[in-house]
Amino acid sequence: MEYRIEKDSMGEMKVPADRYWAAQTQRSLENFQIGGELMPREITQAFGMLKKAAAIANNKLGKLSQEKLDPIIKACDEVIEGKLNDHFPLVVWQTGSGTQSNMNANEVIANRGNEIAGSKLLHPNDDINMSQSSNDTFPTAMHIAAAISIEDQLIPQMQEFITTLKRLEAENEDVVKSGRTHLQDATPIKFSQEISGWRNMIEKALDMIQLSLPGLKELALGGTAVGTGLNAPKEFGIEVAAAVSAVTGKSFITAENKFHSLTAKDELVFAHGALKALAANLMKIANDIRWLASGPRCGLGEIFIPENEPGSSIMPGKVNPTQCEAITMAAVQVMANDVAVGIAASQGNFELNVYMPVGIYNFLQSVRLLATGLKSFHDNCVAGIRADREKMKHNLHNSLMLVTALNPYIGYDNAAKTAKKAHQENISLREACVSLGFLTAEKFDEVFKPEEMV
């Protein structure tokens, strides 16, 4: 491999000749060989966006020449498009401020910009990092990446999921089945009503996630090192937020209090709490579905779900609810990530949080898991759910909890006696009630109508 020599304030470093990064990136690459988890590409893209926006703002405020702006914009666009991903090699487990990833972006954009310009025009610190600090750029990248990933990846999948559940509700409006509480038989419910509970769980989670977005759309840029805005023009925060909005097509604003935005990560905690709520709801829905589909002969067997692949290496013909298992595992990971995000946010010492990379790594993993997990669960399972109407009818009419309908006519205690007799003697509720003398057969038939109990 061929190398070139790059310099920083600490001296010279050998850097691969075919890479745009420079000395500070190389030092991080060599000093933090931990784990192997790369800084999320959503962060790389967000850095391209914010560096482009910063250059536009600095140009507007008279600090950066048009000659320098043009190659910076072109280089940033390549970062945003993912064309330069191979030039962002740093792992998550580095400095807690994300300084080295900020410098990685500065160096790559400067060197690629110089290549575009055909001269040594741009300096990583003086031009690409102009009016900025790692301490306000990394939290800004976090918020940009979090907001975009939620709006562009997760929310569309949630909306599609809701639409499908609405379809299933309409298709099953006339299906009455046995309800269940504590995994025991309960009073009747429409299958459409059961599905509506699932739908509203996703809708509520969506409301909570959307409620968290305004906080994520506040940007720390303009605070520089400790929140005072040292070395940045007075209007930089406002102008750069407007530029980020133009670059992303989304409405970002400058944070009102930069001292807060550098040291606190509570907006991320709040937003991830909503993601955890979605994960919890998906866990519940997936468990309901695999219980209802259990069998095919020795379980509940009240619904059919798509049969996607063989389920056993030893039992021929076995098919398992694998999509339910996949989404529940993803939900477990999201719930675990919430712990990491919360602990990371608690480590804001004085003017700066120094657990930012681990916080955003877990946050973005949660969004990816939920978005892709929802799509897989939807496409390969939920969209293909069908009710086994005969099995639901059979279970409904064999449920002892239908005796609840008799409470107004024979009282709770007598209804309990009826249910116990029917269970112990394996006879119908009708037979038990009549034999105990609580109702005549004719009166029982008149008041006992399971389909009207919903």
> What is the average pLDDT score of the chain?
97
Give the burial class of 314: count Cβ atoms within 10 A of its Cβ; 0-12 exposed, 13-18 middle, 19 or more buried.
exposed
- Give pLDDT, residue 312: 87
Percent of the chain with pLDDT over 70: 100
Domain 3-130 has CATH 1.10.275.10: yes
Strands 386-387 and 303-304: antiparallel
Amino acid at 45: Q
Q: How far is CA 70 from CA 77, 117, 367, in A?
A: 11, 9, 34
The helix (run of H) or strand (run of E) holding residue 424 is helix 412-425
Strands 184-190 and 303-304: unpaired
- Give pLDDT, residue 159: 98
- Give pLDDT, residue 316: 86
The pLDDT of residue 317 is above 90: no
Listed in order, strand segments (DSSP E) in 83-183 are 176-181
Mean pLDDT in residue range 112-136: 98
Could you say which of 312, 346, 423, 435 is catalytic? 312
- Give pLDDT, residue 313: 87
The pLDDT of residue 369 is above 90: yes
- Give pLDDT, residue 89: 98
Burial 94-121 (b: 16+ CB within 10 A, else e): bbbbbbbbbbbbbbbbbbbbbebbeeeb
Residue 296: is the preceding peptide bond cis (ω within 30°)? yes
Among residues 296, 386, 280, the alpha carbon closest in space to that of 338 is found at: 280
Boundaries of every domain in the chain = 3-130, 143-230+251-390, 399-452
Band the pLDDT of 348: cuts 50, 70, 90. Answer: confident
Fold annotation for 399-452: Ribonucleotide Reductase Protein R1; domain 1 (1.10.40)
Burial 268-305 (b: 16+ CB within 10 A, else e): bbebbebbbbbbbbbbebbebbbbbbeeeeeebbbbbb
Mean pLDDT in residue range 216-225: 98
- Give pLDDT, residue 290: 98
106 three-state secondary structure: helix
pTM above 0.85, yes or no: yes
Active-site residue flag, 312? yes
Fold annotation for 143-230+251-390: Fumarase C; Chain A, domain 2 (1.20.200)
Give the C-alpha separation, 88 to 85, whole Å.
5
| Full DSSP string of 342-403 | HHHHT-EETTEES-HHHHHHHHHHHHHHHHHHHHHHHHHTGGG-EE-HHHHHHHHHT-GGGG
Task: Return the DSSP state at 85.
Answer: G
Question: Which residue's entry shows tokens 């209007």?
Answer: 235
Express each pLDDT in 334-346 by its tens digit.
Answer: 999 999 999 999 9
Band the pLDDT of 363: cuts 50, 70, 90. Answer: very high
Active-site residue flag, 87? no
Joined tokens for residue 35? 């784990």
* CB-CB contact of 282 with 198 (8 Å): no
Band the pLDDT of 314: cuts 50, 70, 90. Answer: confident
